[in-house]
Homo-oligomer: A and B are copies of this chain.
Amino acid sequence: MNSEDIARLAGVSRSTVSRVINNYANVPEATRAKVLAVIEKYNYEPNTSARILAGKSNNTIGLFVISVSEKERRIYQNAYYSSFINAVVDVANDNGYYVLVHTIYSEKDYSKVKQSFLQKRICAGILVGNEKLSSALKEISRMGYPIGIVDYDPEDIEKYDLDDSNLIVVNSKDYEGTTDALNYLIGLGHREIGIITGRMETYSGRQRYEAYINVLESNGIEIKPEFVLKGEFHKKKTYDEVRNLVDSKKLPTALFACNDDMALAAMEVFSENGIRIPEDISIIGFDDIPLAAHIKPALSTVKVPGYEMVGHITELVISKIESKVRKFHYESIPDQLIIRDTCTNVRDGAF
């Protein structure tokens, strides 16, 4: 069943069938109804490849989920990501777009992005993932398609010579979120504040660390290298770092973890060692993963609105596809401090 069949059955030409399908204005209602009836009756749907080849948009957004640092190829383990995929698909589908999902596990896989464009499979791309985006990004940005990136340093655009006219960058306000968390801790009287850092290959990892340094310094609090634990956003790394800290017998009174996974890992180690939270040490995380509210004690954290952020970038990408305006768009979304049960006034503690 193709447009020619429909045309014959409706007693018109393929041109007219096409006009009906594409909602051209200059088709009399009677003709339109006649054609529509045949289309309906035979359950006809135009061949997508033919339409694209003839000049229509493919209406497909590529979603590239980058995870070059994970050993295991289990992105979903990271609760962070699953909401991203869902957000893109929801918003795209609502707007009549399809989404092609790809995972990127290595530097080499970046060629998949370029390839998808070159093969004309997609008309825009959204990149999410926790790694420094490779140099491949320069090339990708220059292909002329709208590209949405989540968690990217806007200064890197110039630094890596990207073409920003096709770029949409949406970040969460990690610096401010971190500042809020730290000020909260300081307000509770803490002066010995440690950090479990994320991956410095990510913008959010760097921002959270920088905010830590700056807030402490501007409050006249000394930054002790032994209280700076390198967690890399991973639980495994964090276990080791926190165990070392515990072994050193010198604990801070509060610990700021750059994500909830690491905060949880730290809590486990403390719990194993009879160190009470928050009595012996306060701890605060980042992200607000579902688990955070459910563990005991419930984890105080900084909520990153992941679904909203990614849903929003999807809307921006779609409007860029349709508007043809080529202009850099940057946005950052506020985080929210969520106070639960893992932080307490330093004077109430055992120290």
B-binding residues in A (CB < 8 A)? 43-50, 52-53, 58, 60, 63, 65, 73-77, 79, 81-83, 85-86, 89-90, 93, 98-103, 112, 114-115, 118-121, 264, 268, 290-291, 294-296, 307
Partner of A83 from B76, B264, B268 at Cβ < 8 Å:
B76
Residues from chain B with a CB closer than 8 A to the CB of A291 are: 290-291, 294
CA distance A100 to B44 in the complex (A): 21
What 5 new A-B contacts, CB under 8 Å, besides A49-B120, A50-B53, A295-B296?
A73-B86, A76-B83, A89-B101, A93-B112, A100-B100
By beta carbon, the residue of chain B nearest A112 is B93
Residues from chain B with a CB closer than 8 A to the CB of A48 are: 49, 119-121
Question: What number of copies of this chain does the assembly contain?
Answer: 2
Closest 7 CB pairs of A and B: A82-B82, A45-B118, A76-B82, A49-B49, A49-B52, A76-B86, A48-B119
Residues from chain B with a CB closer than 8 A to the CB of A65 are: 89
Asked, given contacts A119-B47, A291-B290, A294-B295, whether A99 binds B100 with beta carbons under 8 Å apart, the answer is: yes
CA distance A82 to B295 in the complex (A): 21
Asked, given contacts A45-B118, A119-B47, whether A93 binds B103 with beta carbons under 8 Å apart, the answer is: yes
Residues from chain B with a CB closer than 8 A to the CB of A74 are: 83, 86, 307
